[in-house]
Structure 1
Amino acid sequence: MDLLHLKYFQKVAQMEHMTKAANELRVAQPALSAVIARLESDLGVRLFDRQRRQIKLNAYGKAYLQKVESALRLLEEGRSEVVEMAGLEHGGVALAATTLNRLSRLLGEFLSLHPKVQFRIIQSPAENSKIQMLENGEIDFSFSYYPFEKPSFRNIPLMNEEILLALPPNHPFRERTSIQLKEVALESFISLKKGYGFREITDKFCDESGFTPKIIVECDEPAALSRLVQAGLGIAFIPFAAKKEAPSLHLLQIEKPLCRWTLYLIWKENHYFSQASLLFRDFVVRFFGKVEQSD
């Protein structure tokens, strides 16, 4: 058993298809099958259930895959650390965020100072997915609107922002500047899909006000909210920063309940961080500190 064979097993386990895995790995399918058979022989158990031409990872295979992925990840971290110590590259940063709009300026300013840093960015609306990626060591940081309440996680608040209510053209409340949320209990809402942190937060505000919002449109794209409101489909919760992106919208302050949300930078303490990722973490904290002061 060697490192290459473990990578072969990982690919077959992920795809559960010998021919497709062989094509991805650019090896002959019979040779790949022989590697898997030899690995099962060494372990003394079958890792896949075979039914005619199909294969399915079984309980033994799932348990072994978890250890193999952890081992390969640690070896890659070790390689990155040694290479970085030798000064052969400037490292990389892996992060996840719900939306990339408000990170574009941050990333641009960082790369202007450190142009050789490589980024891997995953857009993920689901908070649970981001937690899992941090747990597995797949990413260095998560930008999230919920803190991860675990002893092994660090949560740094970056900014606190007001949430406003956007009205379509000719809405009866357009002459007003503020509102209590219970006053729109019977309105039609445009919202993000469940799983987005923003959706969970705004649903809680409605619950505090004694109603469940009647949602007629659920979006995957946060930027679509303001456009659909402008089209007259309904009202929507909008972050304060969206005022700049949609100046034609009529936005109301919400007097009760207090509607705000906080953006956090989150990481796992025992995770290996490249010099690039440490530079990025410090830069993020300074960047949002300046943004808050300017606001």
Structure 2
Amino acid sequence: MELLQLQYFCKVAKLEHMTKAAQELHIAQPALSKTISRLEEHVGVPLFDRNGRQIQLNAFGKAFLKKVEAALSLLEEGQRELIDLAGMERGRVMVATTTHKCFSEMIGSFMSLHPDVQMRITQASSEEKEQQLQKGEIDFSITFPPLELDGIDGVNILTEEIMLAVPPTHHLASRDSINLAEVAHEPFICIKEGNPFRAMTDAFCQQAGFAPNIVCEVDEHSAISHFLHAGIGIAFLPETLGDKVNSLRLIRLERPFCQRTYQLAWRKDRYLSVASRTFRDYVISYCAGLQKHSTVATSEEK
């Protein structure tokens, strides 16, 4: 059994398409097919079900894939640890994050301070980030809500208030704060279902004793302001987006108190390189500064 066979097997298992896998691996399709066949001969069972040109991972293949992914992850970590010990690594950090403005600025700041560190940043759904973390495909995930999974460690790095955004002509625009129940009959502009933010805001409304009257659903927060300006409804927005909605009115929600917390998560048994540990320390310090600034600003407003 060769390392290359295992790497090729993982790629075919992921795509379940021999031609596409060969293209991504930059090898000829017949050569890839032969490699997979040799691997199946070695393990003694077929790893894929084949039906003409269709290929699908079978029960043997699924069981084998879990072990192969774990083995390849350990080998990669071992290599990184040896390079660290030899003092040769210039650094590499792999992060799955959100589109949050604070985090893009934070990562850009880190890269400016550490130009030798190679950053690989991906945007992914909560489910994808969780899977990538558990498989060892990334070093860190920046996510909300915080993950509570066996084998995953993490630290809460940023808590932000969720505000109610209304057009400047809205009858509540003069208010600094309200109870959420006061807008039970207002039309809402919301993020689409399936997004963690939507699940969170629906839960806020449930705590306040009502289900939101949703008149418009959008894919992301950047689209909400357009409909707010059109006077279609009101919307939940994170406080950190306040500088992007200067012409709108942000109102603090007192009951229930609405906020969300972001977590920096990593796999407990994954070796973290010097670069990764440096990044983790920087994120914690950077977000602590943001949180302190936010607390001071809130106190001054009061």
Structure 1 residue 289: Cα displacement: 1.6
Q: Where does residue 116 of structure 2 map in the other structure?
A: 116
The aligned runs of 1:221-236 (5 Å cut-off) are 221-236=220-235
Q: Where does residue 56 of structure 2 map in the other structure?
A: 56
Count residues in correspondence.
294
**Aligned residue type for 2:98:** T
- Aligned residue for 2:120, secondary structure, equals strand
- Provide the C-alpha distance between the structure 1 equivalents of 2:84 and 2:94, rounded to a whole number of angstroms: 16
**Aligned residue type for 1:140:** D
Q: Where does residue 248 of structure 2 map in the other structure?
A: 249
Q: Where does residue 199 of structure 1 map in the other structure?
A: 198
Q: Where does residue 170 of structure 2 map in the other structure?
A: 171
Q: Where does residue 23 of structure 1 map in the other structure?
A: 23
In structure 2, do the counterparts of structure 1 residues 88 and 56 end up closer, same or farther at CA, with 3 Å as the change threshold?
Answer: same
Matched-pair contact (CA < 8 Å) for 1:81–1:274: yes
Matched-pair contact (CA < 8 Å) for 2:188–2:212: yes
TM-score normalised to structure 1 length: 0.92
Matched-pair contact (CA < 8 Å) for 2:94–2:121: yes
In structure 2, do the counterparts of structure 1 residues 69 and 242 end up closer, same or farther at CA, with 3 Å as the change threshold?
Answer: same
- Provide the C-alpha distance between the structure 2 equivalents of 1:239 and 1:191, rounded to a whole number of angstroms: 13
Q: Where does residue 140 of structure 1 map in the other structure?
A: 139
- Aligned residue for 1:150, secondary structure, equals coil
**Aligned residue type for 1:262:** T
Q: Where does residue 71 of structure 1 map in the other structure?
A: 71
Q: Using the aligned pairs only, state the percent identity.
A: 49
In structure 2, do the counterparts of structure 1 residues 23 and 138 end up closer, same or farther at CA, with 3 Å as the change threshold?
Answer: closer
Q: Where does residue 157 of structure 1 map in the other structure?
A: 156
In structure 2, do the counterparts of structure 1 residues 81 and 55 end up closer, same or farther at CA, with 3 Å as the change threshold?
Answer: same
TM-score normalised to structure 2 length: 0.90
- Aligned residue for 1:120, secondary structure, equals strand
* 1:287 maps onto 2:286 in alignment: yes
- Structure 1: stretches of 5+ with no match in the other structure: none
In structure 2, do the counterparts of structure 1 residues 19 and 131 end up closer, same or farther at CA, with 3 Å as the change threshold?
Answer: closer
Q: Where does residue 265 of structure 1 map in the other structure?
A: 264
- Provide the C-alpha distance between the structure 2 equivalents of 1:65 and 1:278, rounded to a whole number of angstroms: 29
Judge which range, 59-68 or 217-226, deviates more. 217-226
Matched-pair contact (CA < 8 Å) for 2:168–2:247: no
- Aligned residue for 1:223, secondary structure, equals helix
- Structure 2: stretches of 5+ with no match in the other structure: 295-302
In structure 2, do the counterparts of structure 1 residues 241 and 53 end up closer, same or farther at CA, with 3 Å as the change threshold?
Answer: closer
Q: Where does residue 99 of structure 1 map in the other structure?
A: 99
Matched-pair contact (CA < 8 Å) for 2:77–2:270: no
Q: Where does residue 300 of structure 2 map in the other structure?
A: none
- Provide the C-alpha distance between the structure 2 equivalents of 1:100 and 1:58, rounded to a whole number of angstroms: 39
In structure 2, do the counterparts of structure 1 residues 265 and 25 end up closer, same or farther at CA, with 3 Å as the change threshold?
Answer: closer
User: For the aligned residues, what is the CA RMSD?
Assistant: 1.9
- Aligned residue for 1:215, secondary structure, equals strand
